[in-house]
Structure 1
Amino acid sequence: MDEERLSWDDAWNITTKVFAYTNHTTLSEAMETWPIEMFQQLLPRIYMIVHEINERFCQRIWYDYPEFREQIPEMTIIARGKIHMAKLAIVGSFSVNGVAKLHTEILKTREMKYFYQMDLGKFNNKTNGIAHRRWLLQVNPKLASLITEVIGPNWIIFPRLVAVNFKN
């Protein structure tokens, strides 16, 4: 964008089609924030871009979602001397999810409810985490080896099939 290869709108269009955001906390006080002064000192050009994103987002709410005008102070990316990274991630992403179904529901109904109400299709659930088999193979290879010795190696690739056969 700085080298004039893309307009702001083209760059933003690409950004919001590429990035998805997984939120890892349901507590607003635990969501990452950066003091504006520190951010400006460390990342002056990035701060200018974040500031522009915030301005355009607030204008979008004002003009396109008048029913949310009163919520702008709660939705703004830059507020109370801080940059709110979760809000920035939500605004700049095509998809938002929590790390579990319950987590996603809490985001939708409590912590990020106005973002959810404004853009219903953006919030969804994709449970994250490591598969039990991969976890076991990595953290306890001796136990994984014992399981393989007792029931065979198919548990690694086909756990449901092995579980059904093991019950029979």
Structure 2
Amino acid sequence: MAATTTLRSGELADCAGVNVETLRFYERKGLLPVPPRRASGYRDYPQEAVNLVLFIQRAKQLGFSLKEVKELLALREVARATCGDVVLLAERKVADIDAKIRDLRGMRRALTKLLKECPGSAPIAQCPIIESLAGRGRKTKKHPRSRGKEEGNGQR
């Protein structure tokens, strides 16, 4: 009867769509409780572990870090916790995602500009993309810490 109420590592991994190494990693990070072992040494996970691993996976798909997932899991165990506590974490994550989107749009604009400047048929030594990456291209907006000899060197 016990065999039907518990899962070995491989069975849990299959049910949750992850590999066994992922389970071990989650255990080391404190996301998945270390299960008791059978006399044979096999780990004996409770059926609820499937839902826990799926929870972790879904949270990761939404962009939550493992540290944030741990916070969410901890909130589930706090009797006084409310949806508002989760909302704060989710709003913080949305703000992080918005910042990443802004950064990605900036990267896209910069790369698109470089693509427009590249004729494609010039020798590699004259490639504006390579020149820009090497810091020898046109004057571009630079990070404040990167100001120095390269800025305004007149090479175009």
**Structure with greater proportional helix content:** 1
Could you say which structure has the larger radius of gyration? 2
Higher relative contact order (CA 8 A, sep 6+): 1
Length-normalised TM-score, structure 2: 0.27
Give the structure with the larger strand fraction: 1
Compute the TM-score of the two structures, normalised by the length of structure 1: 0.26
